[in-house]
Amino acid sequence: MKKSFAYGLSFALLLAIAVPVSQQTARAEAKKYKNCTELNKDYKGGVAKSAGIKNKGGKTKYKPFVSAELYEANKKKDRDHDFIACEK
C-alpha cells in the first residue's frame, strides 16, 4: 500500500512539473516564417490570432489555424490587417 502511494505521488509530482515546462516550450517555439508560401506549407489556411476572427478579404478555401503566439511571430505577413496571417 505504501509503495503504490509513493509511486502515485511521484507520478503526480512529475506530471505537475512537466506540464508547465511543455507549455513554456510551446510558446518559445512560435516559428517565424520567411514568407506566406513557407507558412502555408505547414498551415494551409494561414494563422489566426483568435478563434473569433472573421476574414475581411472574402471567401477562403481553408480554415486558419488559431494561435496567438504564432500569429504574433508572423503578423507582418497579415497584409489586410484582419488578424489572419497568410489566409488562403
Digit-coded pLDDT (tens) for 18-33 = 655 445 445 557 999 9
Dump the DSSP string for 45-84: T-EESSTT---SS---SSPPEE-HHHHHHTGGG-TT-SSE
* Kind of pairing between the strands at 84-85 and 47-48: antiparallel
Grid cell of 79 as nine digits? 497584409
DSSP string spanning 2-28? HHHHHHHHHHHHHHHHHHHHHHHHHHH
> In terms of pTM, does the model score above 0.95?
no
The predicted structure's pLDDT at residue 1: 64
CA separation (Å) from 4 to 1, 12, 63?
5, 12, 47
Binned at pLDDT 50, 70 and 90, residue 86 comes out as very high
